Each structure stands twice: as structure tokens, then as C-alpha cells.
Amino acid sequence: AVPCLELTRGEAEPAAFAEVAAAWAAKHGVARANILFAWGGGADPEDETRAALSALLPAVQALGSGSMPLQARLWLLSRQVQQVVPEDGGAAAPLLDGAALWGMGRAIANELPHLWGGLVDVETRPSAAAAAALIAAAAAPAGEDQLAIRRHGERFVARLVPATPAPALPELGDSERYMLAKGPRRTLDDLRFERLTRGAPRAGEVEIEVLAAGLNFRDVLNALGQYPGEAGLLGFEAVGRVTALGPDVAGLAVGDSVIALAAPGCIGSHVTVRRALVVPKPEALSAAEAVALPAALLTAYYALHHLGGIKAGDRVLIHAAAGGVGMAAVQLALAAGAEVYATAGATEKQQFVRDMGVRHVMSSRTLDFAERVRALTGGRGVDMVLNSLSGDFITESFGVLAPGGRFLEMGKIGIWDEARVRAQDASWVYRPFDLAAVAQEDPVTLVAMFERLLDEVAAGRLAPLPVTVFPMADAEQAFRFMAQARHIGKIVLSREDESRRLRFAAKGVRGDAHYLVTGGLGALGLRVARRLVEEGARHLVLSGRRGWCRPG
């Protein structure tokens, strides 16, 4: 084994260190050794730490100078600085005054790696077994350099590993639910499920166990932090089973299969919604088919009929006609006797729209549609535009709107204001709208519309929308699929197969904790602080050797 040199309190004084170490090396005939710096154990931990650091610095300088006839590995011993398990086996709380020794040790490891042995933490009164384990660790070949040795000689080591979200438990407790939530960085790979406590529904509310949730483009904008205004929770429409009723709720019973027309936060296991926005699910429709209907059918019907007053003979331009709302609008416009002009993205999407009975289908990826519409209408333009596009597509769409035409805006980005529209043509009717706001302001009208639309579906006059189903565990992939506009019809997240594990939010950063960032006033420290805030930290202490500095 490699011999060990233990420096006592007196021998570790700066003036004596080099002489003692050289004499020891000559006496034992060794050229290399492990030096164990074991200062401490006094009555005042703060004074002991200050004295230890004062003695350690010149010792390190002597070792690093190259003047000593000894190749050394330096080990620093601390007492009860580290807490190795949540309760540390019932041991006393960590003595944080000694943590400065670990900070200095890491600096030594970084600046003088050829001298470095490691950091070892023992209890305030280490046992003989712990002492033996300490000597064995110091004598071992270079390896672990951050150790904690406890009562019976057990060795614990520090590990820096990637933070991974906690996996889903196999079952939820009776009082628990989960919900998909936006991450602090507003990226799709930041989406995580959160475990929450279920609460009893209040008066006029219904709790639903979600079987399927519809995905809408507003959810993608919401997740990316690009939705204008307050977007709220992810999710809008859900199908599931009633699990609890609030006081005075009538017409429903626990176990009923229902459709929730406006259910923010429904991408998860349970959601509580207003009774006024819940309707029975038709037995003939699967959960995925049923959940594809509310946002798509209601948006299209509210726009074309309620706002636009569509009638037979109207020329109607429908953008993104291969999406859920677009397909619903095509069906409703054709049923009303209108002449439909439509845009869609990929070639296969355009063909799908033609197969629905639309004769005039153009690309939604270029602005050429405007010239095509003018040519097809003999320069007269269209009577109505149902728009979901942005930028120059809005300008070109206004360019094909006939005098007195109605522009129905369901998009969320680049919306015009009334003054800008009137400056172009005072006869135009401009109607931007948000179905979520309509649901909150006038649920009775919305439910009445939806019940009529369900009757049309049951009678075969409206066809269910094609759906692409993702397991709820694959929510991130579903969001990406929608963001890339790869789908036809509707995207649905389903809980009917929960064999997949869910990604739950990591709990590493707490909003009620305090975080000390040493070196926190430099460039790297400030980036670390910003990341902590993004992850949810609310109380930070930044320290630096030079204080707060600004260039100039």
C-alpha cells in the first residue's frame, strides 16, 4: 500500500509543512505519498474552518511549487458536511461551515490536478471502521474523488447524472390526476405531465375521466409561447366518463359518456368543466371520432352560419381545407349550396379535398391561389373567406374578396384591425373570433349549435372527420406532427391504451427553495441563474469575488 502522511494541528502550520513532509519522506524512503489534511474538530466550527483554510493554502502552494522531494496526492477531510441520504440515517444536520473546505478542494482539483487526491467526509465522531475505510480509500488508485464514509465504513460517492423526469406510477391514487403542462422554456420537448390533486367539483361543474382529447393548433402556439394574449391551459375538447358531479348538477349521472365542448387542461387523466358545456356522447361514435367534432364543427358552423350568414350561391374561399376545421367548413358550405374554393398543402391533401366534392383546389403554400381565384371567378372574387393563414396570405385573401364580402378570421397571428380593413374597402365585413371566448360568454348558444350538428352527423348528412390517434404518452410527437402540418383531419390524444409510460415534470428545482450561485455575477453564473429561474426557482443569491460589475 502507498504510505500515508497525516499532518497534525501543529505540523500543519505554514512554516513547518515543507520541513515535516521532507523529513517524513526521507525517514520512510518514499518518493510519493497521500497527504491527508484532517484539520478540524474544535468547539467553534466557523473558527476551525477559517483556520483550516488559512493553513491549507500555503501547504498547497508548497506542494505545487515543485520544490519538495515528494510526489503527493492531497486528500481533504471534512466532518459531517455532506448529507448522503435524505435523512442521513438519523444523523445530525450537515455542518455547513465546513462546506468551504469542499469549495477550496474543487478549486485545487481544477488548478493543480496532478496533486489532487479527493474530498472525504466523515461523521463528527468517526468509528474505527470508518477510519479504516478512509485509509483504504486514500491508498487506492486514483478514482472517486468525492466520498462520504459513514458509521460502519459504508462508502458513498457523488454522481452528476442527467436529470430525468420521474416516470409515471402504474396507478394514480384516488385523489390524484395528471395533466399535460407547458415547460418553462416554451419548447415542444419541454412538455411534461404534472401530478395534481383532484378536487371536488363546485356548483355547476362536472369532473370527467378523460378517454380522448382533441389537439388544436392553438395548443401548439400555446406550448411554444406564441399564442397572442392569455392562452390558458393546454387542451380544449374532451370525451370521457363522468366521475363526480357538483351540487345542483342535473341531467347527468356518474358513469355517463360525455363530450366536453370547452375543457381547458383536458390533456390528462381528469378534467373539471362547466356542466353547461357538456353533452352526452352518441353511442355510434367512438371516443376518438366524437372528440374530433366539437372544435372543428363549431368553429366552421359559427363562422359560416352565425357570423357569415352563408347562403346558396355564395362563393366561399376556405383555407387549409384538409384540416379539421377546413373539412368541416367544406361540408357545411357544400350543404348550404355554396361554390367552394379551397386551399391545401401537400398534393395528397389537395386530392383529399377534391374527393370531398370541391372542384377548385389550390396550394396553400404559395400566393398563387389569389390569381387562380380571380381567373376562376372572372375577376369578381369571392363573397366569403374563412381564413386561418397569416402574413401575406391575409393580404392576398382580402385581395380576392368581393365588395360587401365577409372575411371570417379564425387565425391568431397577424390579425388585422377594423381600421385597416375599412381603409381597404368600407363595405367589407370583418369578423375575427375565438371559439374559446364564445364558449365562456354564450355556452347555451354553442351547445344548441353542437346538438344540431350531432343530429346532422347521426343522420349521415355530415361525415365524421378522419382522425390520427396518438397515445397520450406520445403528446410531444402529436404536437410536432401538428406543427409540421402533416395530418389530414383531426389529431387526437387517447388514454384508451395506457401501457406507455408518461413523462412527468422533474421536481429538481423548487419555487419555495433558496439557491446560492457562487461566481453568480460572471457570464456563466448569470446563465446558470437564468436557467434556474426558467426551471421555476424564485429565490436566488448570487455571489462573486468582485461584486457586481458593468463594462465601462
Enumerate domains of the chain plus CATH numbers: 4-157 (3.40.50.11460), 176-291+470-494 (3.90.180.10), 295-457 (3.40.50.720), 508-552 (no CATH)
Give the pLDDT confidence score for residue 166 in this predicted structure.
47
The pTM of the whole model exceeds 0.85: no
Give the pLDDT confidence score for residue 15 in this predicted structure.
52
Beta strands in 412-520 (DSSP E): 429-432, 467-471, 490-494, 514-518
Alpha carbons 353 and 48: distance in angstroms, whole number: 80
User: What would the pLDDT profile of 446-494 be if each residue is shown by its tens digit?
Assistant: 999 999 999 999 999 999 999 999 999 899 999 999 999 889 999 999 9
Give the pLDDT confidence score for residue 25 in this predicted structure.
79
CB 185 within 8 A of CB 509: no
Tens digits of pLDDT across the chain (552 residues): 555 666 555 555 545 666 777 787 788 787 777 788 876 656 676 777 788 888 788 778 877 776 666 777 888 888 888 887 654 455 567 777 778 889 899 999 998 888 888 999 888 888 888 888 888 887 777 678 888 988 888 888 887 776 655 444 436 778 999 999 987 778 898 888 888 999 999 999 999 999 999 999 999 999 998 888 788 999 999 999 999 999 999 999 999 999 999 999 999 999 999 999 999 999 999 999 999 999 999 999 999 999 999 999 999 999 999 999 999 999 999 999 999 999 999 999 999 999 999 999 999 999 999 999 999 999 999 999 999 999 999 999 999 999 999 999 998 888 899 999 999 999 999 999 999 999 999 999 999 999 999 999 999 999 999 999 999 989 999 999 999 988 999 999 999 866 555 666 555 677 788 999 988 888 898 999 998 887 778 899 998 877 665 554
DSSP string, 418-449: HHHHHHH-TT-EEEE--HHHHHHH-HHHHHHH
Give the pLDDT confidence score for residue 88 in this predicted structure.
47
Q: 150 to each of 79, 121, 122, 132, how far by Cα in Å?
A: 10, 8, 6, 11
Nearest to 156 by CA among 243, 74, 75, 83: 83
Give the pLDDT confidence score for residue 463 in this predicted structure.
96
Alpha carbons 127 and 65: distance in angstroms, whole number: 36
Grid coordinates of 110: 481544477
User: What would the pLDDT profile of 486-525 be if each residue is shown by its tens digit?
Assistant: 899 999 999 986 655 566 655 567 778 899 998 888 889 8
CB 395 within 8 A of CB 326: no
Grid coordinates of 407: 372575411
Go through 334-349 and write b for each residue having 16 or more CB atoms within 10 A of its CB, e for each that does not: eebebbbbbbbbeeeb
Alpha carbons 79 and 100: distance in angstroms, whole number: 12
Alpha carbons 227 and 248: distance in angstroms, whole number: 36
What is the crossing angle of helices 45-64 and 99-111, to 10°?
Answer: 10
